[in-house]
Structure 1
């Protein structure tokens, strides 16, 4: 295996998508976004054939070109996906690689007055455009979504919010069980704001954007907590509320409840019918995940079982949060098999 090249058997169409709903977004982020569409081997030779589609979304701070990053002695995910279909190990699918990066790090694939309308962008702009331009099987039963971390979160909640569009999901270490994966960061953020920024998030952002990102130890916690607050607990005028007192780290109950309302574990019983209608649910996480998202994965599985959804793929494997791209073909194969006619 040469480390610098891969002989693709399928092909990528790389386009720039001009979003109407992202124009004038509150952060001033680009409304023209890269979009990749992977067409499996044989797509051009069989003009009468239609294919399931699987949408691939990224974790926090992810931007589309990062999918091509590689770790030593490993193929990246586009290469692994192409290899899966080239070897005939999964039914062929159209893959749609969507960019929902923001200058706060991400969007959680939700509509937020502080961040922008990324849920609408994905569901009401990208999906119909892909169906109009490519030979998809344009029904929910043949459309899935997959991601890791914040992308795994998006993969869990998007089919709950729009069951008319999605028939399957795959979540790798998706954000879930918020009191476990998020709450532990609040004290560290309160201390970092006190000790380095005079209790001001505005000062943090000024400092963060004046130097190489993540060059200070507290950067990741500070960015993550603010981004989540902008997604989960922003007022209609864009005002962002933190779920804790920055002087003490104590919870602010009413704001924290707004966060918990977006926890996939807690959303399950409210969207039971939608979840019971899915053809494919894949859940995994590493047992040594630094953010304890293996516990969130188990909680999500149990919540599904409580509403009668037991036909799921579930695995906790020996691994951490990063370096798990080798798991993605497993969920891709699972979705491809479940979403194919």
Structure 2
């Protein structure tokens, strides 16, 4: 008896198996697709009335990247808490949201935390604060426009009017990295009626980076910048000085850059230095303690190899402790950027999960929003 399967039968079985595989695909891929929760990213323009007419000539129509959580497209009656996340100096929103290759992909980090049950679902909003000076410092200035007001008022109002948010301070968090961490404490300590919880990742600029005895090389670099092209080619520290001056010591008389530097003809400028100090959170924090007491939660961290920032975080920890204000402070093994994705996934998102009010069935609110 011939036990071999006839060629036609073998062909029919092969075709049937191929058809089945085309329908279900490899089992491991199907399982992975079903278990991974993926949000949606939109990049829109949001006009800033307070950014109009800035002396730098930057557009008041700002790019804004928005992460919408996995259930946003399917659960049309659900409203969500919002995290406003501020990027750092020389960065932009597109670098954080996967539009441009960068050292971090924020949506992928959020997706991972949501999929693994470490985070609730949030809308996450990041405005593009990259400008002529490589960063706005999230401050109000005639030179760069009113960035502080743009984030706290105009952007929040726009997002509440166009997305299914929970439009209450208890459901809004503010966070950021580096310059964004600075913006978080700067804006958050002034607006507890808008944001209830703050998370600062490696916040810069907590103290003014100025000395009474100027570095001659630093002075020469600053005063050697005469054109925008010169500024584009400058080192990081010189760029940061111009961004700080544009935000904190603007000038309507200076024609090219519309700012006053803390050094002129190699000599320190006391009034400019005083203006910079007046914008340093560790200098001004005592005036905002009553506001900080109104916040539901505040947390901050930095890598131990990020020496000056970690040192300033310790000072912030000491101030809040002296006032009896509950907070979370951590110093971890790392530098300024190498563990930020991990910190967002493991610390920041769980922090907001625990502290922002969620509303899974807000059917009474309008469902006309996107």
Give the TM-score taking structure 2 as reference length: 0.78
Deviations 1:297-341 (A, max 9, x none): 1111211222221x2121011111122322122212202321124
Asked if 1 retains the 8 angstrom alpha-carbon contact of 2:207 and 2:283, the reply is: no
Deviations 1:265-312 (A, max 9, x none): 12221011110111121100111115x100111111211222221x21
Partner residue of 2:230? 207
Unaligned runs of 5+ in 2: 1-32, 359-370
Asked if 2 retains the 8 angstrom alpha-carbon contact of 1:149 and 1:175, the reply is: yes
Partner residue of 1:173? 202
Counterpart check, 1:286 vs 2:303: yes
| 1:21 positional shift | 2.6
Structure 2 CA distance for partners of 1:253 and 1:79, relative to 1, 3 Å: same
| 1:29 positional shift | 1.4
- For 2:214 and 2:271, the matched residues in 1 are separated by 18
Counterpart check, 1:108 vs 2:137: yes
Equivalent residue in structure 1 for 2:261, among 236, 242, 251 = 242
Tell me the matched-pair count: 316
Unaligned runs of 5+ in 1: 1-5
Equivalent residue in structure 2 for 1:183, among 210, 215, 223 = 210
Aligned pairs for 1:87-106 (under 5 A) are 87-106=116-135
Asked if 1 retains the 8 angstrom alpha-carbon contact of 2:200 and 2:300, the reply is: yes
Counterpart check, 1:268 vs 2:295: no
Partner residue of 1:224? 240
Deviations 1:32-66 (A, max 9, x none): 22212211122233222221110111111111111
Partner residue of 1:136? 165
Aligned pairs for 1:1-341 (under 5 A) are 9-67=38-96, 68=98, 69-71=101-103, 76-179=105-208, 182-183=209-210, 187-188=214-215, 190-194=216-220, 199-202=223-226, 205-209=228-232, 213=233, 219-235=235-251, 239-248=258-267, 251-289=268-306, 292-309=308-325, 311-326=326-341, 327-329=343-345, 330-341=347-358
Structure 2 CA distance for partners of 1:223 and 1:130, relative to 1, 3 Å: same
Give the TM-score taking structure 1 as reference length: 0.85
Q: Comparing 111-120 with 53-62, which one deviates more in the overlay?
A: 111-120
| 1:107 positional shift | 1.0
Q: Which has the larger radius of gyration?
A: 2
Partner residue of 2:10? none
Asked if 2 retains the 8 angstrom alpha-carbon contact of 1:185 and 1:225, the reply is: no
- For 1:48 and 1:229, the matched residues in 2 are separated by 46
Structure 2 CA distance for partners of 1:244 and 1:30, relative to 1, 3 Å: same
- For 2:226 and 2:212, the matched residues in 1 are separated by 19
Asked if 1 retains the 8 angstrom alpha-carbon contact of 2:214 and 2:266, the reply is: no
Structure 2 CA distance for partners of 1:296 and 1:10, relative to 1, 3 Å: same
